[in-house]
Amino acid sequence: MRVRLRDLAEGLGLSVMAVSKALHDAPDIGAATKARVRAEAEKRGYWPNQAARSLRSKQSGLIGLLVPDLASEEAAGIAGGLLRAGEAARISVMVAASGEKKGGEAAQVKAMMGRGSEAIFILPKITTEHRSLALEAVMQAGLPVIFFQRYPADVSPGRARVSWVVRDMAHAAQLVLDHVWKQGHRSVAYLGGHPAERSHAEHCKAVREGAAQMGMELVGEATMAGLTPEDGEREMERILQGKSQPTAVICGNDAVASGAARAVLQAGLHLPGDLSIVGLGDGELARHGPVALTTVAFGNLGKAGFELWMASRDGGEMKPRTVGCELIDRGSTAEAGGGGKPSPTPSR
């Protein structure tokens, strides 16, 4: 933080204002002057003091993102998308992890507001009630809030500048059901409904209803507390020991699918020859794991959230968005009853 507008102005024999305007490409400054100013700024390595700028203009060019923990792929993906979208619009992103602590969220959000965040993006914890002191404060301050994936039940969008971006879970379920149906599967298991998570509950429901409609039998259905690989492994083992065996297993996310695949391999069975598995989310585990998983890829939530905010920036309304999805076939599913031969696993 060294060269100031004043330094440039003195060096050029201009006023501070003229320099400021020139750098902002204001219409009332001559082209020649602008060129001179820009050259000098470049030469002396000027860059603006944002603290001063936002103090004066109330425009910080900063947004805040609050996630439970960056280590999760969900959070990293959202953050990445938001960062990329932000950069294109010259918006900086402050990231905070709310972690386990209860009061954490409020303090983090206050820090963001203190720095002049123009909007707050939140990926709520699954276990949270989504409604905190922090949120009250933000909304009272009139700041836009965009939720990812989960959102408070008692807030209506539009009013109060609150909105959200979710995944099209019903469509995802339909894609998966169509896929396994076409391969001749008539008896499937579902692993992964999460009782406290709207989107997973929705997926579960869509699979259940879709299967019924198509005349597919749902021989195993597990609701689980965590959607971790361990949960998937445990439930898969349970199914393998049951009497009526499915020919395909639909999972609530890639982690569960990965755990299920682990159980299948442990049992000495072949994938996908003996059993087909479908994941959800197209994460690292599906793409790069020892078993490439057929899964459903979603559009980036972070990017969609940013666009939603940008579109509302000049007073527009904040209409919630749903990001679409597509099925990615990596060969962890095969024709039903296709025998023990594993099909080759393509790398993409």
Partner DNA sequence: CTGTTAGCGCTTTCAA
Partner DNA sequence: TTGAAAGCGCTAACAG
Q: Are strands 295-298 and 276-278 parallel, antiparallel or unpaired?
A: unpaired
Fill in the per-residue mask, 275 to 314: x = in contact with its own copies (CB under 8 A), - = not in contact. Answer: ---------xx-xxxxxx----------------------
- Is residue 344 involved in binding its own copies (CB under 8 A)? yes
Fill in the per-residue mask, 44 to 63: x = in contact with DNA (CB under 7 A), - = not in contact. Answer: ----xx--xx-xxx-x----
- Nearest-CA neighbor of 333 among 254, 272, 260, 251? 272
**Shortest spacing between CB 115 and DNA, in angstroms:** 12
- Is residue 20 involved in binding DNA (CB under 7 A)? yes
* Cβ distance to DNA smaller for residue 24 or 182: 24
Residue 291 binding target from DNA, its own copies, none, CB below 5 to 8 Å by type? its own copies
- Is residue 16 involved in binding DNA (CB under 7 A)? yes
For 154, other C-beta atoms within 10 Å of its C-beta total 7
Q: Rounded CA gap, 316 and 233, in Å?
A: 47
Q: Rounded CA gap, 20 and 28, in Å?
A: 12
Q: Rounded CA gap, 271 and 139, in Å?
A: 50
- Is residue 117 involved in binding DNA (CB under 7 A)? no
Using only C-alpha atoms, the chain has a radius of gyration, in whole angstroms, of: 26
**Shortest spacing between CB 56 and its own copies, in angstroms:** 9
Token digits of residue 33:
């002057």
- Nearest-CA neighbor of 256 among 190, 346, 168, 336? 190
- The piece of 24-32, 99-107, 264-272, 303-311 that touches DNA (CB under 7 A) is 24-32
- Nearest-CA neighbor of 87 among 310, 265, 249, 237? 310
Q: Which residues contact 232 (CB under 8 A, 6 or more apart)?
A: 191, 192, 224, 251, 255, 256, 257, 258, 259, 260, 262, 263
* Cβ distance to DNA smaller for residue 111 or 196: 111
Interaction residues for its own copies, span 228-247 (CB under 8 A): 228-230, 233
- Nearest-CA neighbor of 309 among 85, 60, 50, 113? 85
Bridge partners (DSSP) of residue 295 are: 328
Residue 5 binding target from its own copies, DNA, none, CB below 5 to 8 Å by type? DNA
Interaction residues for its own copies, span 20-59 (CB under 8 A): 45, 47-52, 54-55, 58
Bridge partners (DSSP) of residue 325 are: 298
- Is residue 113 involved in binding its own copies (CB under 8 A)? yes
- Is residue 226 involved in binding its own copies (CB under 8 A)? no
| Residues making contact with its own copies (CB under 8 A) | 1-2, 45, 47-52, 54-55, 58, 60, 62, 69-71, 73, 75-77, 79-80, 83-84, 87, 90, 92-97, 99, 104, 108, 110-116, 137, 140-141, 228-230, 233, 255, 258-259, 261-262, 265-266, 268, 284-285, 287-292, 342, 344-345, 347
- What are the residues binding DNA (CB under 7 A)? 1, 4-6, 13-18, 20-21, 23-24, 26, 28-31, 33, 48-49, 52-53, 55-57, 59
